[in-house]
Structure 1
Amino acid sequence: MSRVITASPEVVYEYASNVGNLPRWAAGLARTQAVRDGDRLIVESPMGRVEVRFVERNRFGVLDHDVTLPSGTVVTNPVRVLPHPDGSEIIFTVRQIELDDDEFARDIDLVAADLERLEHQIIQRI
């Protein structure tokens, strides 16, 4: 799943990597502000309380993060912010882990809505 955003990759990465912004755009992950506990974040999500660990900030636009589901299953979510002729493209790999086909389709819709919100949040700020 991807979305082109008419902003530089640096702007998109800075906004998306700020965990304080998660509830503004990533409703599929965080309904509330994240509570930091060492290198992990605890958030209330549509799946219940989950633990999130992001990769360290980097210059490559990598926003990969592991989400530990209430069941204890860890889902690795690869996310990249890449240069695009129109600004940047954010790519989020959606995985069908512990989801039936209907749940997976809903998850895809949630990620698409999250990326759309991300675009709107960034465009409003530039």
Structure 2
Amino acid sequence: MHTNLKRSYTRSLAIAASPGTVFDLVSDPAALPRWAPGFARSARPDGDHWIIENDQGEARIVVRSSREHGTVDILSADDPSQGAYSRVLPNGNGSEYQFTLQFPSDAPDDAVTAQLAVVDAELEAVRGLCE
């Protein structure tokens, strides 16, 4: 039995822009405040990591990306098992941006719903910035 599995939720959005354009935006940690201001009101480099600031204070993140595979993972620098996983895929003449978050199995449903609403708004921001 897999009792330590988290609950995963993936959101996806079609964007009328090339995969390269979308990838360039979402893989740039300095751009996080432009499309994910609730997560990162500001972002500054700190060696191989980035320091983001939000309502909870400051946190260190690492952004692991692969242009070849279209993957962008935004992870806690202190605990890389925590974070968000995303992928930019070709979709006709544009792109599909997929974004996955994981929650503890006992996370309250209302907290998950609220966070997914934030993700939906962030995806719309990516679309607006890329199209």
Aligned pairs for 1:15-94 (under 5 A) are: 15-32=25-42, 34-67=43-76, 74-94=81-101
Shift of 1:10: 0.7
Task: State how far apart, in whole Å, the 1-side matches of 2:24 and 2:31 are.
Answer: 10
Bigger CA radius of gyration: 2
Larger fraction in helix: 1
| Cα pair distance change 1:56/1:121, threshold 3 Å | closer
Larger fraction in strand: 2
Task: State how far apart, in whole Å, the 1-side matches of 2:17 and 2:55 are.
Answer: 29
CA RMSD, 1 decimal? 2.2
Q: Tell me the alpha carbon deviations over residues 72-109 of structure 1, each in whole angstroms, 9 at most, x when there is no partner.
A: 78513210000112510010012113842211111100
Q: TM (normalized to structure 2)?
A: 0.80
Q: For structure 1, list consecutive stretches of 5 or more residues without a partner in the other structure.
A: none
Equivalent position SS for 1:30: coil
Partner of residue 110, structure 1: 118
Q: For structure 2, list consecutive stretches of 5 or more residues without a partner in the other structure.
A: 1-10
Q: TM (normalized to structure 1)?
A: 0.83
